[in-house]
Amino acid sequence: MARTYDGSCQCGAVTFSAELDLTHAVICNCSRCRRLGSVFAFTPRTAFTLRSGEDALTEFRFHNEVIAHLFCATCGIEAFGYGRMPDGTETVAVNARVLDGVDGHALAKEATFYDGAAS
């Protein structure tokens, strides 16, 4: 069931809120995600609010450049990224490990595996 979560980077420069259903969290094994260790929860862009730090974000794209991975330029934490679903819906991939009150380690154990290394 979806609910609203607040999240931020390590230094607090980037803050946001998002309506997320964490029962559909995803772990990916592409080269980037393996190194980063993120647990992603996806939500429509309309259910995401960047509260502060737009000017603190640095963008990184790789491989097929589908997702704009956004990092805090100060602390380096990737809190979220912007992309599109296969149907064209604008989406946000939220790193659930940066959400207030969420145990990212426990969530990772329940997350769905996505074979990003194969794509």
Q: Where would I find the beta strands (DSSP E) of the chain?
A: 3-8, 15-20, 26-28, 40-44, 48-52, 57-60, 68-72, 78-84, 90-95, 112-114
List the CATH number of the domain containing 85: 2.170.150.70
Range of the domain at 65: 3-118
Give dist(CA 72, CA 16) in Å, integer.
Answer: 12
| pTM confidence score | 0.87
Q: Give bridge partners of residue 19 from the DSSP assignment.
A: 4
Q: Number of structural domains, the chain? A: 1
Which ranges of the chain does DSSP label H, i.e. alpha helix?
Answer: 31-36, 104-110
pLDDT tens across 5-27, in order? 999 999 999 999 999 999 999 88
Residues in the chain: 119
pLDDT tens across 53-94, in order? 999 999 887 766 677 989 999 999 999 999 988 898 999 999
b (16+ CB within 10 A) / e for 72-82:
beeeebbbbbb
Which pLDDT score, from 0 to 100, does residue 10 have? 96
Dihedral in degrees, nearest 10, Cα atoms 40, 106, 108, 110: -100
